[in-house]
Structure 1
Amino acid sequence: MTVHSLTCTAFEGHRRIASGALPDVALAVREVLARGEQAPVLVFDDVTSRPVEFDLRGSADEIVARLASQNDGAETTHATADAAEDAPRGRGRPKLGVVAREVTLLPRHWEWLNGQSGGASVALRKLVDAARVAGEDKDRQRAAQEAVYRFMTALAGNLPRYEDATRALYAADRPRFEEIVAAWPNDVRDYTLRLANAAFATHA
């Protein structure tokens, strides 16, 4: 499941308008738009860099109430899912929610699995769990790289050496990346580097 932040950051062109909780940023964006500013206004999720859209109709109180209602709805959905996981299960129902599905392997694979402690099913579950743990760091890095790239594509695509910065990002070349980004407008530079911390974390 994709993790989204409860905070976001808004830009008017290359200038940062506000950063923080969704209601605070929404009201700041509303003020900017009310002034009739010409530069594009974009809002980014602080974890994924995916665009955040606000319904800015009505008064400030109505906007805040609408966002609070949306957040409460999301929390209720998560709580319902958690309750379903914790609900008592009928007699004979596997406690771990085991699902039987067909797996096709060569004879030598089945022979090896059947010789493992606990049998083929236990051995397969252990192998899958080990692979998941081994891949977590790579998955986190990939998601962080995508977040940086998503933001840079939206706001830095026309800035100097954008393509070089992208190559440095995916090559995990932090010094080169920071050297390139240093020449960008201050607010874009600072937010890009903030996002990039997670992308370079496993290479510190």
Structure 2
Amino acid sequence: MSGYAVFEGERRIALGGRLEAAVAAQARLAEAPDAILLIFDPEGRQVDFDLRGGPWDIARRLGEVPEQAAPRGRGRPKLGVTAREVTLLPRHWEWLAAQPGGASVALRKLVEAARRQAEGPDRRRAAREAAYRFAHALAGDRPGFEAASRALFAGNAEGFAAAIAEWPADIADHLRRLAAEAFETG
């Protein structure tokens, strides 16, 4: 997926991380206080940043200021393991208990295998949704929007490219970035 994008009308003025986008938006507003800017996250959603203060203030609010590393304590490191309840039938518990490492290890392996199997379809779906959200916000009233949307959700890369060919270059380029994984196969 793409980074955070700052648009002023049809023109993309920045593309990068959250902090880069926020600082670029702040700089543009310093030059042109009446400018209307839209900022999009990598999932194609419009986001707002608090642009008050200087870049350091923005970085602090975004949590991008490095914290001083705390000295590591003794003992095992925290792995982020969360205990929750799982409801299964007795035969499922029996099977899990018979697995090497026990129920927890077997469940983690099953979840990881399912995540890997669904990774491609999930990435394609997320790319389609991100591209659609962005296109709807910046090009929903443009000729070819409906054709582009149909092609996007049908996985028709050629139809999608043809539908957005006449759109402003920065909008079409960002849309191609967001949609790139939507057209991958495999």
TM-score w.r.t. the length of structure 1 is 0.70
* Alignment correspondent of 1:67: 58
Q: Deviations over 1:8-61 (max 9, x none)?
A: 32222xx205124322343124434x3x56xx532223x22332435556xxxx
How do 1:46-195 and structure 2 match up within 5 A?
Answer: 47-55=42-50, 62-71=53-62, 73-76=63-66, 87-89=73-75, 96=79, 98-195=81-178
* Alignment correspondent of 2:7: 10
Check conservation: 1:168, 1:176, Cα contact below 8 A. Answer: yes
CA distance change for structure 1 residues 158 and 87 in 2, over 3 Å: closer, same or farther? farther
Q: For the residues of structure 1 that align with 2:128 and 2:147, how far apart are their CA atoms?
A: 14
Higher relative contact order (CA 8 A, sep 6+): 2
Q: For the residues of structure 2 that align with 1:163 and 1:170, how far apart are their CA atoms?
A: 11
Identity %: 45
Q: Which runs of 5+ in 2 are unaligned?
A: none
Alignment pair present for 1:42 and 2:25: no
Structure 2 counterpart of 1:165, one-letter code? A
Counting matched residue pairs gives 181
C-alpha RMSD over aligned residues: 3.3
Q: For the residues of structure 2 that align with 1:156 and 1:111, how far apart are their CA atoms?
A: 55
CA distance change for structure 1 residues 181 and 88 in 2, over 3 Å: closer, same or farther? farther
In the TM superposition, what is the alpha-carbon distance from 1:189 to its structure 2 partner? 1.7
Q: For the residues of structure 1 that align with 2:81 and 2:141, how far apart are their CA atoms?
A: 51
* Alignment correspondent of 2:27: 27
Q: For the residues of structure 2 that align with 1:106 and 1:189, how far apart are their CA atoms?
A: 51
Q: For the residues of structure 2 that align with 1:142 and 1:188, how far apart are their CA atoms?
A: 20
Structure 2 counterpart of 1:41, one-letter code? L
Bigger helix share: 1
CA distance change for structure 1 residues 169 and 102 in 2, over 3 Å: closer, same or farther? same
Q: For the residues of structure 2 that align with 1:171 and 1:137, how far apart are their CA atoms?
A: 16
